[in-house]
């Protein structure tokens, strides 16, 4: 019955639509023309560079010298390059520490702020404000903030009796990473915080009323109502944070200069140094390609996870 | 007992965290308003703008901010224009192959900008654009995020909106700028804010492309200026304050829209 009606409609619809087919073609032309400007930029500054970069990664190419095809040699060298391994490990460790920390802290702040009505705007502004500053500004603030003797952090720690000798934050590799993580937390938590806050405000009040009727306590409400309702946002935040952490460069370049003794160099730092300080274009391209693969894998994992948790 | 105290504990903790978060910014302002080695609160409340005068005489801070403003504004305007056109086409016109093209753009969202630094450098060098402000704008427009976000928004707009205009003989292009653009102002604003902040804060690509001081953005010029000061903090901190104050003022005025915009775009990302 239903198919019959559909077929009938199709039949009666067909002659009516026939004269419009020229309009439809016009529509296609407009459609193509409207996509075209962006497509040109996409080809020139995204697709072609990627393919070109992939091609370059098979060459030994110092910018000033010759360009020789060496096949997979750059990738083979990459597997034996201890400095690259160290930088990759640094990046992975930074990601492993900063992502749970910033995600957890962002969630905590969002849950706190969500339960406060009076003064919520002030809290939102305070936590989000550092995010609008540039990496240069926040890095410089933190470098000065962390100075021994003159920096505010050491002075406060000494003032409240937590330390009795100066901490040289940027001279020890662990402390240097701690500094970068603190600065990154301060700078980017606002982003995580507003995503969670928006997620919290989307949870229907009725969920909580039901939990209240069941006599759930605060922790149980969070564990069984709030947190599961945020699963989509959480996956999104974790993935965005993971990708951003993998690409860390500015903080390490500007806060520690990669030091002490290269301890805070990262993967993008490797691209920067090999590409623009020793001008090994092929080798740097190989590193960039590895970075891209890692990020592709994370993105695909996200798609899978979102399909499981979302909707 | 603990349950009754809970709201107060949360309020106090939140207030403390907020103070902690604001401290570096206040400290920046306080250092910038006092001579090197001095303290804002030593011997009364002595405010001096000498540091600001010195920094402005030694570094083209306003020129750098002007460059940042031009680069970010042009980038944002072009992203909004091109992305909204393409998103409209993908959402409403659907020419043959449009789905494939959209998926291609979508998958490009997974590609990090850092992966194209080397080829972009080589290509820009070949066409003599390296070191120009244009070189900062062009790659930023190629990001597909805007299309994705706006297409989602356009898909949610009711179809009968344009039916009436279609009957009146309006073409697709006219419908885009007469109906879709005005209706999607919140989404455009959100995307605009996101794009502008991203462009303003871009560091690694300007670092590679720009070497002439005159074309530097503030994000690039600031650390260069500060690197000549080792044991002094008042002047570098004043430079930070100069770079931060306009941004903070704009943020405080539009904080509601900015936070909403970031939550909207960030939540839609990927």
DSSP B21-35: HHHHHHHHHHHHTS-
Smallest Cβ–Cβ distance between A38 and the set B83, B173, B233 belongs to: B83
B172: which chain A residues are within 8 Å (Cβ-Cβ)? 27, 30-31, 34
Predicted complex ipTM: 0.89
The answer to whether A81 and A262 have CB atoms below 8 angstroms apart is no
Question: What are the tokens at A103?
Answer: 């995600």
Q: Whole-angstrom Cα distance, residue A87 to residue A294? A: 14
Q: Say which DSSP state B142 is in.
A: T
Task: Identify the burial level of B160 via C-beta atoms within 10 angstroms of its C-beta, where 0-12 means exposed, 13-18 middle and 19 or more buried.
Answer: exposed
Min Cα separation A154/chain B (Å): 13
Which residues in chain A have their CB less than 8 angstroms from residue B143's CB?
A: 46
Distance set, CA B95 to CA A13, A15, A31, A47, B68 (Å) = 21, 21, 6, 22, 38
Using CB atoms, pick whichever of A44, A127, A284 lies closest to residue B21. A127
In this complex, which of A38, A135, A191 lies closest to B86 when CB atoms are compared?
A38
Closest residue on chain A to B123 (Cα)? A49
The string of pLDDT tens digits covering residues B97-125 is: 999 999 999 888 888 888 899 999 999 99
Q: What is the pLDDT of residues B59-90, one digit of tens each?
A: 999 999 999 999 999 999 999 999 999 999 99
Buried b (16+ CB within 10 A) or exposed e, A260-274: eebbbbbbbbbbbbb
Q: What is the spatial distance between Cα B86 and Cα B67, in angstroms, rounded to a whole number?
A: 28
Nearest-angstrom CA–CA distance, A138 and A253? 12
Q: Render pLDDT for A50-104 as a digit per residue (tens, 0 to 9).
A: 999 999 999 999 877 788 899 899 999 999 999 999 999 999 999 999 999 999 9
Residues in chain A within 8 Å Cβ distance of B31: 144
Using a CB-CB cut-off of 8 Å, the residues of chain B touching A197 are 263
B24·A141 Cβ contact <8 A: yes
Contacts of B266 in chain A (CB under 8 A): 191, 194-195, 240
The CA-atom distances, in angstroms, between B142 and each of A40, A210, B145 are: 9, 48, 9
Which of residues B94 and B216 earns the better pLDDT score?
B216
As given in the structure block, the two tokens for residue A246 are 């993998």
φ, ψ (nearest 5 deg) of residue B44? 80, -170
**Counting Cβ atoms within 10 Å, is residue A105 exposed (0-12), middle (13-18) or buried (19+)?**
middle
Instruction: Write down the residue that tokens 């789905």 correspond to.
Output: B99
Residue A289 token pair? 């390609």
Given a cut of 70, the residues of chain A with pLDDT beneath it are 1-26, 309-311
Q: Coil, helix or strand for B36?
A: coil
CA distance B157 to chain A (A): 18
* pLDDT value for B109: 84
Question: Cβ contact (<8 Å) for A236 and B267?
Answer: yes
Are A144 and B233 in contact, with CB atoms under 8 Å apart? yes
User: Phi, psi (5° rounding) for residue A66?
Assistant: -85, 170
Q: In chain A, which residues have their Cβ closer than 8 Å to the Cβ of B18?
A: 122-123, 126-127
Task: Compute the distance between CA of residue B89 and CA of residue B215 in angstroms, rounded to an integer.
Answer: 36
Q: Could you tell me if A87 and A248 are in contact, meaning their C-beta atoms sit under 8 angstroms apart? A: no
List C-alpha distances in Å: A160 to A155, A156, A304, B23, B80.
9, 6, 48, 16, 51
Yes or no: say if A224 and A217 are a contact pair by the CB < 8 Å rule.
no
In A, minimum Cα distance to B147 occurs at A38
Across the interface, do A147 and B233 touch by the CB < 8 Å criterion?
yes
> What pLDDT, in 10s, does the model give residues B118-148?
999 999 999 999 999 999 999 999 989 999 9
Ramachandran assignment for A234, one of left (phi > 0), alpha (psi -120 to 50 degrees), beta (any other): alpha
Minimum Cα–Cα distance from A251: chain B residue: B203
Q: Which residues of B touch A136 (CB under 8 A)?
A: 203, 218-220, 222-223, 243
Task: Give me the pLDDT at residue A214, please.
Answer: 83
Neighbours of A249 (CB within 10 A): 22
Query: Which residue among B111, B251, B270 sits closest to A50, beta carbon to beta carbon?
Result: B111
- Best of A34, A254, A296 to disrupt the B interface by mutation (most B CBs within 10 Å)? A34
Q: Could you say which of B171, B240, B252 has the minimum Cβ distance to residue A137?
A: B240
CB within 8 Å: B31 and A144? yes
pTM over 0.80: yes
pLDDT of amino acid A6: 40
CA closest to B28 among chain A residues: A141
Backbone angles phi, psi at A68, to 5 degrees: -125, 135
Find chain B residues with C-beta within 8 A of A32's C-beta.
89, 95
Q: Is A67 helix (H, G, I), strand (E, B) or coil?
A: strand
State chain A's mean pLDDT as an integer. Answer: 87
B142 φ, ψ (degrees, to nearest 5)? -75, -5
Q: Please indicate whether, in this complex, the C-beta atoms of B114 and A218 are within 8 angstroms of each other.
A: no
CA nearest to B8 within chain A: A116
Pick from B197, B200, B242: nearest CA to B217: B200
Buried/exposed A219-242: b ≥16 CB within 10 Å, e otherwise: eebbeebbeebbebbbbbbbbbbb
CB-CB contact of B240 with A143 (8 Å): no
* Number of C-beta neighbours around residue B162 at 10 A: 19
pLDDT (tens digit, 9 = 90+) per residue, B8-52? 999 999 999 999 999 999 999 988 998 877 665 555 567 888 899
pLDDT of residue B153 exceeding 70, the answer is yes
Cβ pair B123:A49 closer than 8 A: yes
Q: Which three-class secondary structure string do you get for A136-203?
A: HHHHHHHHHHCCCCCCHHHHHHHHCCCCCCCCCCCCCHHHHHHHHHHHHHHHHHHHHHHHHHHHHHCC
Helix axes B2-32, A82-114, angle to 10 degrees: 120
The whole-angstrom distance between B131's CA and the closest CA on chain A is: 14
Residues of A in contact with B16 (CB under 8 A): none
Of residues A31, A240, A289, nearest to B172 (C-beta):
A31
Whether the Cβ atoms of residue B199 and residue B72 lie closer than 8 Å to each other: yes
Task: Identify the closest residue of chain A to B113 by CA–CA distance.
Answer: A46
Q: Do B173 and A30 touch (CB under 8 A)?
A: yes
| Separation CA A66–CA A68 (nearest Å) | 6
């Amino acid at each position: 019955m239903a198919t019959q009606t559909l077929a009938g409609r199709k039949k009666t619809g067909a002659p009516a639509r026939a004269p419009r087919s020229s309009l439809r073609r016009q529509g296609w032309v407009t459609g193509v023309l409207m996509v075209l400007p962006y497509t040109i930029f996409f080809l020139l500054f995204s697709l072609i560079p990627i393919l070109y970069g992939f091609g370059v990664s098979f060459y030994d190419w110092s910018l000033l010298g010759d360009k020789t095809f060496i096949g997979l040699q750059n990738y083979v060298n990459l597997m034996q390059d201890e400095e690259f391994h160290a930088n990759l490990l640094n990046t992975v460790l930074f990601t492993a520490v900063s992502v749970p920390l910033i995600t957890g802290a962002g969630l905590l702040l969002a849950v706190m702020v969500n339960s406060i009505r009076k003064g919520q705007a002030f809290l939102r502004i305070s936590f989000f404000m550092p995010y609008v500053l540039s990496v240069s500004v926040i890095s410089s603030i933190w470098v000065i903030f962390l100075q021994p003797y003159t920096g505010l952090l050491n002075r406060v720690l000494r003032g409240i009796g937590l330390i009795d000798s100066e901490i040289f934050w940027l001279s020890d590799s662990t402390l240097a990473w701690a500094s970068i993580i603190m600065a990154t937390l301060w700078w980017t938590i606002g982003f995580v915080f507003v995503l969670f806050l928006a997620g919290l405000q989307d949870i229907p009040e009725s969920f909580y009323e039901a939990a209240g009727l069941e006599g759930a306590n605060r922790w149980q409400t969070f564990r069984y109502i709030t947190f599961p309702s945020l699963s989509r946002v959480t996956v999104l935040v974790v993935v965005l944070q993971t990708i951003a952490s993998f690409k860390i460069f500015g903080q390490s370049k500007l806060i520690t200069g990669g030091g002490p003794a290269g301890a805070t160099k990262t993967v993008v730092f490797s691209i920067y140094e090999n590409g623009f300080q020793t001008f090994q274009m092929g080798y740097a391209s190989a590193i960039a390609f590895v970075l891209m693969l890692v990020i592709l894998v994370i993105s695909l994992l996200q798609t899978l996870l979102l399909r499981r948790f979302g909707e | 007992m603990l349950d009754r105290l809970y709201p107060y504990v949360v309020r106090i903790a939140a207030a403390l965290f907020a103070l902690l978060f604001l401290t570096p910014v206040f400290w920046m302002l306080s250092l910038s308003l006092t001579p090197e080695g001095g303290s804002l609160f030593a011997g009364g409340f002595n405010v001096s703008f000498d540091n600001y005068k010195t920094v402005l005489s030694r570094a083209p801070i306003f020129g750098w901010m002007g460059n940042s403003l031009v680069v970010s504004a042009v980038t944002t305007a072009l992203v909004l224009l091109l992305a909204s056109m393409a998103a409209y086409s993908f959402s409403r016109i659907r020419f043959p192959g449009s789905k494939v093209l959209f998926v291609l753009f979508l998958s490009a969202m997974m590609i990090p900008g850092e992966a194209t630094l080397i080829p972009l450098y080589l290509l820009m060098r070949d066409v003599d654009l390296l070191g120009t402000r244009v070189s900062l704008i062009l790659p930023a427009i190629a990001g597909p995020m805007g299309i994705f976000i706006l297409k989602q928004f356009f898909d949610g707009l009711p179809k009968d909106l344009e039916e009436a205009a279609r009957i009146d003989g309006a073409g697709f292009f006219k419908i885009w700028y007469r109906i879709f653009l005005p209706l999607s102002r919140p989404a455009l604003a959100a995307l605009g804010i996101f794009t502008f902040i991203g462009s303003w804060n871009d560091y690694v690509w300007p670092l590679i492309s720009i070497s002439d001081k005159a074309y530097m953005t503030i994000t690039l010029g600031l650390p260069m200026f500060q690197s000549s000061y080792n044991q002094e903090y008042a002047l570098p901190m004043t430079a930070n304050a100069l770079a931060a104050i306009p941004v903070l003022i704009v943020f405080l005025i539009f904080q509601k829209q900015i936070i909403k915009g970031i939550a909207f775009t960030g939540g839609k990302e990927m």
